[in-house]
């Protein structure tokens, strides 16, 4: 049991909660622990967010598509992570991405009703949830306010940083090259020049249909921002 | 007393709350009602978000500056409105804008500790707060995913829609023209052509140092998005 406690206490929702409190919570709340095998879908884009879901072991690949479905953003998140906590409430209550197990992946899920009960049961949980959502809400505006010179590198940084998660690995943008140029609003030649510079700086690798972000933190430097 | 109840029940935080419940809440929680005269600051950028603040009568002008301080985004919000609820918690807990009374403006403020007590006291308040923050958190990503053709009009729409509020009026971007072109990453001539088109479509007015958004909803159409 030791390890389960330690894993849960690493989740942002349970930060600062005592072992006793957590133990009490587990006793009275249905915590569903699921195992997914490599390649198995955890959630599909558009699925209703009926539960809050945490990756508690292993890794998951998240795939988000832009609305024209021309650009696909993939990233790998590692435990401990929470899947789209900002889509349980609000205007849109469906998953904005498909999440797939990468290797064996352990997921904890709690129904939305039980999640509300948890937040209601103790101010520490409530405070943690408000923090998680506020961070997400601040990020969009802060990335946009950080844009200073409108370069292609900055536009790419804005796009990637706003659509992927802090600590995400193996971030890949897939597209037909003309579609990526269209979304960034640039000519193909300028795009290649900018990507070559980013490649030389160790931030990306690229080919005609993909940009692989090799160092996400370099994009933070480009946008002169923090997370 | 009638009107105060009706005003409060219009605030997103108190949606769906019965008059009895609200009356009970007002009795046990210190609600501070303040009046500001025309031009008087309500909060300054960088002030700690020590209270949740609601505009309950009149109007307030919000001024947000980008990080290089080259571009100023102004907007006018009308009661009922809440000032930066996503900055009470999270990474940054200071106001991202200066808010100034426009005419006589009534503000309700509640300390952060009392606000947490309110959210803890009843699931309706909790649910409303989670909804408000989730909407804000979803907005940034959804605007960015809606970008489809990277035009100057889309870039301007992304910037304005992400940094101003639903229902905001008198939205003005102030800058030195070269700075606006820099942030949008465009040549001056293309900028003028794009703004002239937006002007002809009834979305903006512009001069060498300002863009006035005459119809924010036209920017939603440009980005093919909703709020």
Mean pLDDT by 10 residues, chain B (227 residues): 78 91 91 97 98 97 94 96 97 97 97 96 94 95 92 94 94 90 91 96 95 95 83
- Which stretches of chain A drop beneath a pLDDT of 70? 1-2
> Under CATH, what is the fold of the domain A142-222?
Arc Repressor Mutant, subunit A (1.10.10)
The answer to whether the CB atoms of A133 and B134 lie below 8 A apart is yes
Contact A138 B86 (CB under 8 A): yes
CATH topology of domain B2-139: Jelly Rolls (2.60.120)
Beta carbons of B227 and A91 less than 8 Å apart: yes
The pLDDT value recorded for residue B227 is 75
In chain B, CATH 1.10.10.10 covers 142-222
Tokens 């937006």 sit on residue: B198
Q: A2: burial class by Cβ within 10 Å (0-12, 13-18, 19+)?
A: exposed
- A143 near B91, Cβ under 8 Å? no
Whether residue B80 is preceded by a cis peptide bond, meaning omega within 30 degrees of 0, is yes
pTM above 0.90, yes or no: yes
pLDDT of residue B2: 52
Q: Which CATH number describes the domain made up of A2-59+78-137? A: 2.60.120.10
Cα–Cα distance list, B163 to A9, A134, B45, B104, B172 (Å): 35, 15, 15, 25, 11
Q: How far is CA A94 from CA A117, A126, B112, in A?
A: 21, 22, 30
Boundaries of CATH 2.60.120.10 in chain B? 2-139
In tens, the pLDDT along A136-195 reads: 999 989 999 999 988 999 999 999 999 999 999 999 999 987 889 999 989 999 999 999
| Identity of the residue in A90, A183, A226 whose CB atom sits nearest the CB atom of B150 | A183
- Across the A:B interface, residue pairs with CB atoms under 8 Å apart total 178
Q: For residues B84 and A134, give the distance between their C-alpha atoms in angstroms, rounded to a whole number.
A: 10
By the 10 Å C-beta count (0-12 exposed, 13-18 middle, 19+ buried), B111 is classed as: middle
CB A87 within 8 A of CB B138: yes
Q: How many CB atoms lie within 10 A of CB B104?
A: 13
Using CA coordinates, name the residue in chain A closest to B131: A90
Distance CA A112, CA B131 (A): 13
| B199: closest CA of chain A, how far (Å) | 21
**CATH 2.60.120.10 segments of chain A:** 2-59+78-137
Chain A: closest CA distance from residue B218 (Å): 19
């Amino acid at each position: 049991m030791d390890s389960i406690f330690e894993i849960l206490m690493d989740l942002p929702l349970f930060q600062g909660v005592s072992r006793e409190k957590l133990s009490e919570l587990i006793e009275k709340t249905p915590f569903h622990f699921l195992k997914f095998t490599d390649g198995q879908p955890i959630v599909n884009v558009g699925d209703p967010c009926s539960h809050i879901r945490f990756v508690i072991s292993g890794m998951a690949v998240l795939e988000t598509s832009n609305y024209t479905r021309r650009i696909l953003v993939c990233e790998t998140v590692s435990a401990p992570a929470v899947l789209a906590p900002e889509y349980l409430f609000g205007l849109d209550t469906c998953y904005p991405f498909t999440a797939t197990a990468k290797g064996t992946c352990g997921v904890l899920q709690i129904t939305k009703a039980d999640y509300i009960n948890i937040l209601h049961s103790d101010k520490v949980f409530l405070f943690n949830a408000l923090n998680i959502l506020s961070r997400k809400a601040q990020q969009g505006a802060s990335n946009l306010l950080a844009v200073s010179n409108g370069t292609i590198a900055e536009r790419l940084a804005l796009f990637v940083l706003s659509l992927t998660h802090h600590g995400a690995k193996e971030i890949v943008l897939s597209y037909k090259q003309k579609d990526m140029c269209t979304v960034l609003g640039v000519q193909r030649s300028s795009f290649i020049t900018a990507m070559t510079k980013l490649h030389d700086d160790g931030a990306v690798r690229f080919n005609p249909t993909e940009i692989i972000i090799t160092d996400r933190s370099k994009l933070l430097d480009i946008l002169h921002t923090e997370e």
